Amino acid sequence: MLIVLSLFGCSDSSSSRSAYLISVTNLTNNQPLSPPAFILHEKEYAAWQIGTSASAGLEELAESGDPGPFLAEAADNMHVLATSQGSSVIGPGNSENVEIEIKRNSDTHLSFVSMLVNTNDAMAGLLDASIGSLGRNESITLYGRSYDAGTEVNSETAESVPGPAAGGEGFNPERNDTGFVAAHSGVVTAADGLQASALDESHRWQNPVVRLTVTRTK
């Protein structure tokens, strides 16, 4: 499925605008990706930072898969050029395409985030990839890794994992983990001794967890 979004300054002539086709592919074995969030922005914007607390919107995305509050936060930032979200869950090995059009800006960067839904609060993410220098019809391939939002303890229980492996609770505003975003160490699973885990070996992953191909089409 292709989603097309055009934001900010739609009355500009086509020669002053750029469009980017972004294809995201799930590289995991058994971790569906929630509908992803895409942000085109200038370098001054940071979607999140390692070692700092996740925003309320990022917490909700990481725990429930809902990108709406996170994208609303981004849209309020003066350095954000455009935002878009995917239309559906992306299964292992599957892809989704989104096209975003903006006023031409050489300082264009891409950030991406989606929940690994068979987890408590793991995210597939890409931060601050520079794409503004791409020429028309040029492409770049980028890879995203896994992050831990640090907002929910990684208990892996059926009650706390919202994906199809368990069908448990999604977003809970109470935070009970480290309190900061970090690289994710992966799931433990019942097979490796976490007896209450609803997950098995198929839910493990290695980085990278997503591949993004960005093509400038205009």
pTM listed for this prediction: 0.91
Which of 150, 136, 137 minimizes the C-alpha distance to 49?
150
pLDDT at 6: 41
Cβ-contact 33, 116 below 8 angstroms: yes
* Spatial CA neighbour of 61 closest among 6, 26, 113: 113
Query: In angstroms, what is the C-alpha Rg of the chain?
Result: 17
In this prediction, residue 94 has a pLDDT band, given cuts at 50, 70 and 90, of very high
Phi, psi of 57 (to 5 degrees): -65, -40
Residue 87 has pLDDT above 80, yes or no: yes
At 20 the three-state DSSP class reads strand
* CA-based torsion, 146, 70, 170, 36: positive or negative: negative
Closest CA to 162 of 173, 152, 171, 154: 171
Per-residue pLDDT band at 13 (split at 50, 70, 90): low
Q: Considering only CA atoms, which of 32, 166, 4 is closest in space to residue 90?
A: 32
| pLDDT interval class at 14 (50, 70, 90) | low
Written as six digits, the tokens of 139 are 């492409």
- Using pLDDT thresholds of 50, 70 and 90, give the confidence band for residue 8: very low
Helix, strand, coil share of the chain (percent; to 5): 10, 35, 55
Tell me the CB-side half-sphere exposure of residue 173, using CA atoms within 13 A.
2
Helix (H, G, I), strand (E, B) or coil at 171: coil
pLDDT at 1 over 70: no
Q: Can you give the CATH number for the domain in which 132 is found?
A: 2.60.40.2130
SS3 181: coil
Domain count, the chain: 1
| Structure confidence at residue 115 as a pLDDT band (50, 70, 90) | very high
Residue-number span of the structural domain to which 67 is assigned: 2-216
Average pLDDT, the chain: 92
Tell me the pLDDT tens digit for each residue of 42-85.
999 999 999 999 999 999 999 999 999 999 999 999 999 999 99
Give yes or no for residue 9 having a pLDDT over 80.
Answer: no
In the structure, what pLDDT confidence band is assigned to residue 116 with cuts at 50, 70 and 90? Answer: very high
CB distance 60 to 35 below 8 Å: no
Residue 170 has pLDDT above 90, yes or no: no
